Amino acid sequence: MKKSKLDLILLFAVIMISLFGVMMIYSSSSIWAEYKFNNPYKYLITQSVFLVVGTILMIIISKISYTYYLDKANTLLFGCFVLLILVIIPGIGTVRNGSRSWFGIGGFGIQPSEFMKLAMIVFVSKYLYKNNKDIKNIKKGILPILGVTLFAFGLIMLQPDFGTGVILVMSIIGLLFISGVNMKFFLILGIFGVIGATLLIIIAPYRFQRILSFLNPWLDPLGTGFQAIQSLFAIGPGGLLGLGLGNSIQKHFYLPEPQTDFIFSIISEELGFLGIIIVSALFLTIIYRGIKISLNSRDLFSKYLSFGIIFQISFQALLNLMVVVGLIPITGVTLPFLSYGGSSLLSYMLIVGILLNISLKKSTTYKYR
Distance CA 289, CA 291 (A): 5
- pLDDT value of residue 326: 85
Angle formed by the axes of helices 263-295 and 226-235, nearest 10°: 80
- pLDDT value of residue 2: 52
- pLDDT value of residue 365: 41
Q: Could you check whether the bond before residue 90 is cis, i.e. omega within 30 degrees of 0? A: no
Q: Which helix (H) or strand (E) holds 71?
A: helix 68-87
Q: What is residue 179's DSSP assignment?
A: T
Distance CA 112, CA 310 (A): 20
Kindly report whether the global pTM for this prediction surpasses the value 0.75. Answer: yes
Number of H helices, E strands in the chain: 12, 3
- Segments of the chain assigned E as strands: 94-96, 99-105, 108-110
Is there a contact between 297 and 306 (Cβ–Cβ < 8 Å)? yes
- Residues whose CB is less than 8 angstroms from the CB of residue 192 and which lie 6 or more positions away in sequence, other chains included: none
- pLDDT value of residue 191: 84
- pLDDT value of residue 287: 96
Q: Where are the domains of the chain?
A: 8-360
- pLDDT value of residue 368: 44
Q: What is the mean pLDDT of each run of 10 residues along the chain (369 residues)?
A: 75 96 95 91 94 95 91 92 91 79 74 91 93 74 87 89 89 88 76 78 71 77 83 90 92 88 94 95 96 90 94 94 87 90 91 93 47
Angle formed by the axes of helices 42-62 and 8-37, nearest 10°: 150
